[in-house]
Homo-oligomer: A and B are copies of this chain.
Amino acid sequence: MKINRYQDITTIEGEGKKDYIDRHSAFLHCEDNAKAGEKFTVKVKVGDAYPHPDDFDHYIAWVQLWDGENMLAQTNFTAGALGSTPNQAEVDFYIVPGKKMKLTAAAFCTKHGLWHSDEKLVEIAE
């Protein structure tokens, strides 16, 4: 099975292809530094500049948050939770790190499969 990898859409030719790649990409939104032992917020949002359909036969069914090889959390969505109109599927996770993390987000579209973000390093601030 194919795993689609993040691509910077500013390097992509063609509006349709930019839209396709952006709206399926899982983006991590969080600070670059966390405090050990304290709650740290990580938003996973699918699509940045473009929205994805929320149709019954075509929607983002789940997202995952990974730290290295360890999955921290997975959110499953029911089709229609975004009002059946195009939007960015989105969830905020609250995790408590002990050491530096290598975060990855994943998203599954029921028509266009699995998408993995780039890895984001989060350092532990002193």
Contacts and interface: CB of A to CB of B under 8 A. Distances in A.
A37 B85 contact: yes
Contacts of A66: 1
Nearest to A58: B56
Given A56-B57, A73-B76, A91-B91, A96 B81 contact: yes
How many monomers of this protein are in the complex?
4
A10 B102 CA distance: 33
A114 B78 CA distance: 14
Contacts of A68: 1-2, 113
Contact of A110 (B79, B92, B93, B94): B79
Given A1-B69, A70-B113, A96-B87, A75 B75 contact: yes
Interface in A53-106: 54-57, 61, 66, 68-83, 85, 87, 89-98, 102, 104
A39 interface: yes
Interface of A: 1-3, 37, 39, 54-57, 61, 66, 68-83, 85, 87, 89-98, 102, 104, 108, 110, 112-114, 116, 119
